Chain A
Amino acid sequence: MKNKQVTFMLVGLSFLLMLGFSAQALAGETYPIALSLAITGPTSDVGSPYSKGVEDYCKYVNDEKLLGDDKLECFIRDDGYKTEVTKRNFEDFLDEKIVFYLNYSTGSTMAMRKDFDEEKIPTLPASFHAGNLVDSTYVFLPISSYSSQAVGLAEYVAANHKGSGKPKVALFLHPSAFGRAPRDDVKKAIAAGLNIDLVEIVEHGKDLDNTAMLQRFKSKGVQYVISQTVQPPVATMLKGAQSLGMIAKTYGEAGKITFLGCHYAGGPDLIGLAGSAAENYYWTTSYKLMTAPGPGTDAQLALAKRYGRDEKVAQSQNYTNGIMVVQVAVEAMRRAKTKGKKVTRASLYEEMLAMNGYNAFYPLTTVGPVTFSKTDREGVDTLQLYVAKDGVFHELGLPFASEYVKKIK
């Protein structure tokens, strides 16, 4: 009798254990990914909406079961734009066994390239510095590099200049690795035949008044200023230029200056900061803007609404940026799963490199497909030019790719 009871109990226990294991199997796997960025401190105006984009899209993936029964676990930490804190966060994330990493600043990406390589972890930073790809194999840029953007703008200037002679251009740069990123490539493009005259390169400080610099530009006959920095210094410069009556009302207006900028030097937030001084500001990015309705932008607005984001965040291109990097990571996971591979750093890396040709990824949040290969780790290769009119950025022409960047590579 006692033996029977024991046997019965053992069978019952085995059944419970099996049920437990199968329930665990049915619950699917969890794929941890992580992001360290500046939610506070310098560039937090970019970092804050960026983190919201990552957070919301991760929630969306889980809520909509985009990975089937598997879940995405997303760790987001503030690093205050300090490389030391980023590194500390990264070490912490590694303890969480992350399979994909999203980094932020140029400085930290450059400093941690070797760590990414040693850990063999695919990394998508928010920095588009082409230098991130040098001496590294696991860093991927989501969109065209700052060099492609700045050289692309310079090409646009050269092609559309209305006056006689070479257009006189000045570069307005952030005083950091991020700002200096395209400087040398613009020079190389000029050496390769790009028809512009680079008059001055300015690394801005924290000045609240740019009158002296703008007057100097005027005295040197600068006609175009290309900015590679964040929005606040551009807004300060534009306001100064407006008060001095220097802003060109039409592209290339004689005797005035036409202002242009790369991804982080523009966008809807710039209009909020600079007001009417942002009118006729030319800006390039690979992201679609909310002002250009389409399936991608509609989905972004719906996402922001779903997770209770305010209008400012919903309209921000940095929110789009955050969404897009998770889209790429999730797509790599989805493809690995479809092929029956286990989702690991190695399989995700393979899938990232295979994202080209017919396998290119179309996230709808960008103006072109995301393509990566062993020889090309810049994601979206095309850029869209936007111009600010009546307080809104509008598309100008079709997406383009920089020709000279290919020549100088």
Chain B
Amino acid sequence: MAENRWLATGNFFTSYRAEQRIFLTNIDRLVFTCFLLLLFVWPLVFEVSNKYMLVIDTILIAIVAVYGLNLLTGFAGLISIGHAAFVGVGAYTLATFARILGSDHVLLTHYWPLMILLAGGVGAVIGAIVGLPSLRLKHLYLVIATLSFQMIFQWTINFSRFYDQGQTIAIGRVFWFAGKVTRKQHYFFWYYVILLVVVVLGFAVRNLLRSKHGRCLVAVRDNDRAADAMGIHPGFTKVYAFALSGFFAGVAGALHAYLWRGVGFESFTLHHSISYLAMAIVGGLGTLVGSFFGPVAILMLELQVENIAEFVGHYFTAIGDVATAFRPLSFGLVIVLFLMFEPRGIANWWRITRTYFKLWPFRY
């Protein structure tokens, strides 16, 4: 019996090729296409304030960064708490050009797609270098190595005169076919650019995971000795995972620099690294969809906690310190609760929901 590509209620793969499909059913493809269309069309239909466009753009950038972290930590099993520093490397690549050539130099304003790629490339190189200790270190020791990189990055920027000691280095407005992107168009323009990057890189990750280059990450994560026995070079794979992660982080950093029209040290601190890790955990480590859910959940939570903290801080002055503590408290609590009760993250809820609809009206 030929398989029904529309109403498959289970896994009826007859070949490895079938199992490696990007979309398992036509319904999946249809839903994804509709969703993508919706993402591209809604800003043209609804009027959204700049504030919320900024929030949405920030979430999309975080998704790009979490792609990288998920590849490194989720798929390759290498924990990193220096991811914000990798994002910073991308952003400071642009800042370096801005300091040397000026913030409005044609390279930054007209050749921005190339600059974004270049930032990704620099991120990859630095990622590979930072990944070298992973040849000798594992688990907590590797965490300390990535933490060291975070600290070195912070120290370098904070004490470097060239980088204005972490003060914001301005990046000029970009140009595209219709001329200079004005302040009014800024957030919408970058929404489409970042969305495009998210979609392209999302497909890239999905495809990577279908290939031997992606599967080797999982193999090394699950058992590096077994992977070695099968002909995979564990050391190279680990360094490659760091480089890959650095590339995504670098791209995210460049997008961040363009969106915020400047690069400042305070966007790439240890706190941000832990945020990225929280996004990956809450979203679901080792899943592609987790890279979407995590940033949305954490950044929306942050927004809500900010509102509560503001309310408390403003109207209950005497407990202002409690309001200050709300953010780290809520943040830590969410991570702990997810680790305890849903270690597979929101991606698992998504899997359960999908399975329900796939089987509906049957229960199993």
Q: Which residues of B contact A118 (CB under 8 A)?
A: 183
Given A51-B314, A92-B51, the answer on whether A84 and B267 have CB atoms closer than 8 Å is yes
Q: Which residues of A contact B50 (CB under 8 A)?
A: 91-92, 94-95
Indicate if A87 sits at the interface (CB-CB under 8 A).
yes
Given A39-B320, A44-B320, A88-B55, the answer on whether A78 and B264 have CB atoms closer than 8 Å is no
Bitwise interface map of A from 44 to 75 toward B, beta carbon under 8 Å scored 1, else 0: 10001001100000000000000000000000
Given A91-B49, A94-B50, the answer on whether A85 and B314 have CB atoms closer than 8 Å is no
Q: Which residues of A contact B261 (CB under 8 A)?
A: 114-115
* Majority-rule SS of B interface residues: helix
Indicate if A41 sits at the interface (CB-CB under 8 A).
yes
Which stretch of B11-19, B24-32, B165-173, B202-210 is in the interface? B165-173
CA A313 – CA B320 in complex, angstroms? 14
Pair B168/A110 contact, Cβ less than 8 Å: yes
Given A80-B327, A111-B168, the answer on whether A95 and B314 have CB atoms closer than 8 Å is no
Q: How far is the CB of A179 from chain B (nearest CB, A)?
A: 10
Q: Give the 9 A-B residue pairs with the shortest CB-CB distance, closest first.
A: A111-B168, A78-B310, A91-B50, A92-B51, A39-B313, A40-B313, A40-B324, A91-B51, A40-B323
Pair B313/A87 contact, Cβ less than 8 Å: no
Could you list some 9 contacts between A and B, CB below 8 A? A40-B309, A40-B320, A76-B314, A77-B310, A78-B310, A83-B267, A95-B49, A114-B261, A177-B166
Indicate if B20 sits at the interface (CB-CB under 8 A).
no
Pair B313/A48 contact, Cβ less than 8 Å: yes
CA A91 – CA B54 in complex, angstroms? 9
Query: Which residue of chain A lies nearest to B182 when distances are taken between CB atoms in the complex?
Result: A118
Bitwise interface map of B from 46 to 66 toward A, beta carbon under 8 Å scored 1, else 0: 000111001100100000000
Q: How far is the CB of B289 from chain A (nearest CB, A)?
A: 26
Q: Which residues of B contact A119 (CB under 8 A)?
A: 183
Query: Which residue of chain B lies nearest to A95 when distances are taken between CB atoms in the complex?
Result: B49
Indicate if A20 sits at the interface (CB-CB under 8 A).
no
Q: Which residues of A contact B266 (CB under 8 A)?
A: 82-84, 107
Q: Which residues of A contact B306 (CB under 8 A)?
A: 78, 80, 85
Q: Which residues of B contact A94 (CB under 8 A)?
A: 50
Indicate if A12 sits at the interface (CB-CB under 8 A).
no
Q: For window 160-182 of chain A, which residues contact chain B by CB distance below 8 Å?
A: 175-177, 180
CA A68 – CA B167 in complex, angstroms? 42
CA A35 – CA B317 in complex, angstroms? 17
Indicate if B260 sits at the interface (CB-CB under 8 A).
yes
Indicate if B348 sits at the interface (CB-CB under 8 A).
no
CA A109 – CA B313 in complex, angstroms? 22
Complex partner residue of A95 from B51, B260, B320, CB under 8 angstroms = B51
Q: Which residues of A contact B167 (CB under 8 A)?
A: 107, 110-111, 177
Complex partner residue of B170 from A40, A48, A91, A114, CB under 8 angstroms = A114
Indicate if B158 sits at the interface (CB-CB under 8 A).
yes
Given A80-B327, A91-B50, A180-B165, 10 extra CB contacts under 8 A = A39-B313, A40-B324, A44-B324, A77-B310, A78-B309, A80-B309, A87-B54, A111-B262, A114-B170, A114-B262
Pair A83/B168 contact, Cβ less than 8 Å: yes
Bitwise interface map of B from 275 to 318 toward A, beta carbon under 8 Å scored 1, else 0: 00000000000000000000000000000001001101110010
Given A40-B309, A48-B317, A77-B310, the answer on whether A177 and B49 have CB atoms closer than 8 Å is no
Pair A41/B324 contact, Cβ less than 8 Å: yes
Q: How far is the CB of A310 from chain B (nearest CB, A)?
A: 8
Q: Which residues of B contact A88 (CB under 8 A)?
A: 51, 54-55
CA A177 – CA B164 in complex, angstroms? 9
Q: How far is the CB of A385 from chain B (nearest CB, A)?
A: 29
Q: Which residues of A contact B49 (CB under 8 A)?
A: 91-92, 95
Q: Which residues of A contact B313 (CB under 8 A)?
A: 39-40, 44, 48, 78
Q: Which residues of A contact B327 (CB under 8 A)?
A: 41, 80
Q: Which residues of B contact A76 (CB under 8 A)?
A: 314
Bitwise interface map of A from 91 to 128 toward B, beta carbon under 8 Å scored 1, else 0: 11011000000000001001100110011000000000
Q: Which residues of B contact A77 (CB under 8 A)?
A: 310
Q: Which residues of A contact B310 (CB under 8 A)?
A: 39-40, 77-78
Bitwise interface map of B from 250 to 266 toward A, beta carbon under 8 Å scored 1, else 0: 00000000001110101
Query: Which residue of chain A lies nearest to B50 when distances are taken between CB atoms in the complex?
Result: A91
Q: Which residues of B contact A89 (CB under 8 A)?
A: 51
Q: How far is the CB of A314 from chain B (nearest CB, A)?
A: 13
Q: How far is the CB of B270 from chain A (nearest CB, A)?
A: 14
CA A114 – CA B326 in complex, angstroms? 32
Q: How far is the CB of B70 from chain A (nearest CB, A)?
A: 23
Q: How far is the CB of A56 from chain B (nearest CB, A)?
A: 13
CA A83 – CA B266 in complex, angstroms? 8
